[in-house]
Amino acid sequence: MDAARQGYYRAFGGAPGLDYLLSDFRVAMDARGLDGEIRRKGVAIELTTDGADHTIDADEDQLQQIVLNLVRNALAATPSAGRITVRIEAVPAAGEVWLVVRDTGPGIPPALADRLFEPFFTTRAAEGGTGLGLAVVRAIVREHGGAITASSSEGAEFTVRFPARSTGVG
């Protein structure tokens, strides 16, 4: 078992909510050949959680599609020996659960941060990009009552904010 995989199980094993929904993330990546691409590029993938309750109302397959699209983009942008980080974080003050995917690629020019989500917007046409990945991601996120934003510091950072599941209490 490689180090990234161990980290994955440590971070996600048996945890509730979003963690549980993402628990077959590795399997899903394997099935789509992403694991091989990650290995070939020597990119490290790290999954972390703050250990809080990440329960949201979400369709598991669609959630999987969100993560896979964001990781696929991160992988395309990240040079060899780079790093992709997937973080799950509870933000109780906002009643939200965040899924943050960041990479060590070139980042996103501020002028493009909103346009990226438009259908057919791609800077990767030559590599077979369709420009549909982020449009689909945004549609799914909105169906779940959430929002997605892109920003850039060292690399690109995509933040998906989901409403935490209401307990019906209080």
Ligand X SMILES: Nc1ncnc2c1ncn2[C@@H]1O[C@H](COP(=O)(O)OP(=O)(O)O)[C@@H](O)[C@H]1O
Which residues here bind ligand X, judged by CB under 6 A? 73-74, 77, 103, 105, 108, 116, 121-124, 129-135, 156
Task: Round to whole Å and give the CA distance between 55 and 10.
Answer: 18
Question: Between residues 21 and 77, which has the closer beta carbon with respect to Mg ion?
Answer: 77
**Among Mg ion, ligand X, none, what does residue 123 contact (CB within 5–8 Å per kind)?**
ligand X
Task: Round to whole Å and give the CA distance between 29 and 36.
Answer: 9
Question: Between residues 5 and 124, which has the closer beta carbon with respect to ligand X?
Answer: 124
Structure token digits, residue 147: 């929002």
- Choose which of 64, 73, 78, 104 interacts with Mg ion (CB under 5 A): 73
Question: Between residues 133 and 155, which has the closer beta carbon with respect to Mg ion?
Answer: 133
| Position 133 contacts Mg ion (CB under 5 A) | yes
Q: Give the nearest distance from C-beta 73 to ligand X in angstroms.
A: 3
Task: Round to whole Å and give the CA distance between 141 and 15.
Answer: 22
Shortest-Cβ-distance residue relative to ligand X: 133
Q: How far is CA 32 from CA 9, 37, 71, 72, in A?
A: 20, 10, 12, 10
Question: Between residues 17 and 155, which has the closer beta carbon with respect to ligand X?
Answer: 155
Task: Round to whole Å and give the CA distance between 47 and 146.
Answer: 21
The neighbouring-strand residues paired with 97 are 90, 162
Task: Round to whole Å and give the CA distance between 13 and 21.
Answer: 11
Q: Give the nearest distance from C-beta 81 to ligand X in angstroms.
A: 16
Q: Give the nearest distance from C-beta 124 to Mg ion in angstroms.
A: 7
Query: Which residues bind to Mg ion, rule: CB under 5 A?
Result: 73, 133
